[in-house]
Amino acid sequence: GAGVSQSPSNKVTEKGKDVELRCDPISGHTALYWYRQSLGQGLEFLIYFQGNSAPDKSGLPSDRFSAERTGGSVSTLTIQRTQQEDSAVYLCASSLDRGPSYEQYFGPGTRLTVT
Amino acid sequence: KNQVEQSPQSLIILEGKNCTLQCNYTVSPFSNLRWYKQDTGRGPVSLTIMTFSENTKSNGRYTATLDADTKQSSLHITASQLSDSASYICVVWVRGSTLGRLYFGRGTQLTVWP
């Protein structure tokens, strides 16, 4: 009965370094989403997975951002050559399937700070 | 301009009092609207979901209303408790070619004082 988990909970990195953020969705959930929440801003959609494929990656802000999902389960969001504006909370959510009737369950987020 | 606007941005009330949070949206075509509660350092948790045909839905001390004609929703919290201190986020699901997408408001930060 575990919920969505994310790791690390906090990450401090130097500008220019690469970071990997991990999301473990609820078992059996086929849809997985990544969002970014900057201070004082609403959640910003980044990318959506259905199984291992990403039909919608339109929210990725630049080519420094990439994500993958393996085994229809764990997903990693990678940010290359981090910039200070990448500092935010990165939230992962999963749902049983894609569509308005399926509730998205959110993880606790990873707080990324780029110094 | 954000397509899902929430007001007020922040609110402080005394324990036991009631409050109402507002959400106005411009996105369409509308599929459903959810209110989420986000405690500090946690992910959002769904409180209510409302479809186009629903006007009111309650979940304990939380009551959400929806006027799809004016594209307005409200979340009313009765007999507030200290644990209600959180950010309340209005989220609209918009139907689209790729099965739609969620649009998030920036949230109302509610603080309940003893």
pLDDT in tens, A15-45: 999 999 999 999 999 999 999 999 878 889 8
The whole-angstrom distance between A30's CA and the closest CA on chain B is 14
For residue A83, name the pLDDT band (cuts at 50, 70, 90): very high
A102 inside 8 A of chain B by CB: no
Rounded average pLDDT over A69-82:
96
B1: pLDDT strictly greater than 70: no
Please identify which residue in the block is written with the tokens 């922040």: B10
B70: CB partners within 8 A, 6+ apart: none
From chain A, pick out residues whose CB is under 8 angstroms from the CB of B44. 43, 91, 106
Which stretch, A57-66, A80-89, B1-10, has highest mean pLDDT? A80-89
Pairing label, strands B101-104, B19-25: unpaired
For range A93-100, the mean pLDDT: 90
Q: Which of A41, A91, A100 is nearest residue B100 as measured by Cβ atoms? A: A100
pLDDT of A54: 87
Give chain B's mean pLDDT.
91
Q: CB contact, 8 Å: A99 with chain B? A: yes
Instruction: Give me the residue label for tokens 């939230």.
Output: A91
Residue A29 is classified by DSSP as -
Question: Any chain B CB within 8 A of the CB of A1?
Answer: no
Sheet holding A19-24, edge to edge: A5-7, A19-24, A75-79, A65-69
Closest in B41, B43, B104 to A42, CB measured:
B104
What was the pLDDT predicted at A42? 83
Tell which residue, A95, A75, A76, has the closest CA to residue A30. A95
